[in-house]
Amino acid sequence: MHRLIRVLQATDPELAAHGLRTARLAADVGQSLGLLPETVQLIQGAAQLHDIGKLVIPREILDKPGPLDAIEWAELQKHPATGFDLVRHRVPIEVAKIVLTHHERYDGSGYPNALSAGKIPFEARVLQVADAFDAITSVRPYQDALSVGYAVGELTRCSGTQFDPDAVAALVSLCENDTWLRGLGLSESRVANVVAV
């Protein structure tokens, strides 16, 4: 697994940094949910590799500043399955399955297999929430970094549809802790105005 992470760091440092941030968030959510340490470790490993399939997606799609068209979106949706194929013989199968399912949605509207609720590994459901939180609060080609308050609102709005409600509740609870938030290294403007839900 460490070799794959090094490849990702060398090939796409920003993607690797997103993976590290997501791993920390997912570990904190997992711990707050009382998951076993070995389960938290699996989630951390998967979080660091969850977007490795994007290494084969054309840069013009990944770096596009505006909305993707239908063809570009279909190409982007291949990255979980591609990531699974890249890692499945090099990491524990549980980690590979989390990589494969990290874009499935709680209500079954995700990809690549339209799995819902309990058919999605719980570890992947924890990762989804951490992944979304980091995506919202980080600079992306298509958006500036948004505030923690905005992220909390979006996660709460999509709880039970896109996201597992227990994982959302755990992350929202963590966001009410100023010390935890400051430890993430987010700017003051992004931490300000957190709305407790």
Summarize pLDDT for 12-55 with one digit per residue, the tens: 888 899 999 999 999 999 999 999 999 999 999 999 999 999 99
Average pLDDT, the chain: 90
* Predicted model pTM: 0.90
Provide the pLDDT confidence category of residue 193 given band limits of 50, 70 and 90.
Answer: very low
Q: Has 54 been annotated as catalytic? A: yes
What is the homologous superfamily of the domain 2-191 according to CATH?
Answer: Hypothetical protein af1432 (1.10.3210.10)
Q: Which amino acid makes up residue 75?
A: E
Catalytic residue among 54, 64, 78, 119: 54
DSSP assignment letter at 104: -
**Residue 53 · residue 86 · CB < 8 Å:** yes
Residues listed for the chain:
197
Spatial CA neighbour of 18 closest among 125, 96, 158, 127 = 127
Cα(115)–Cα(185) distance, integer angstroms: 34
Q: Is pLDDT of 187 > 90?
A: no
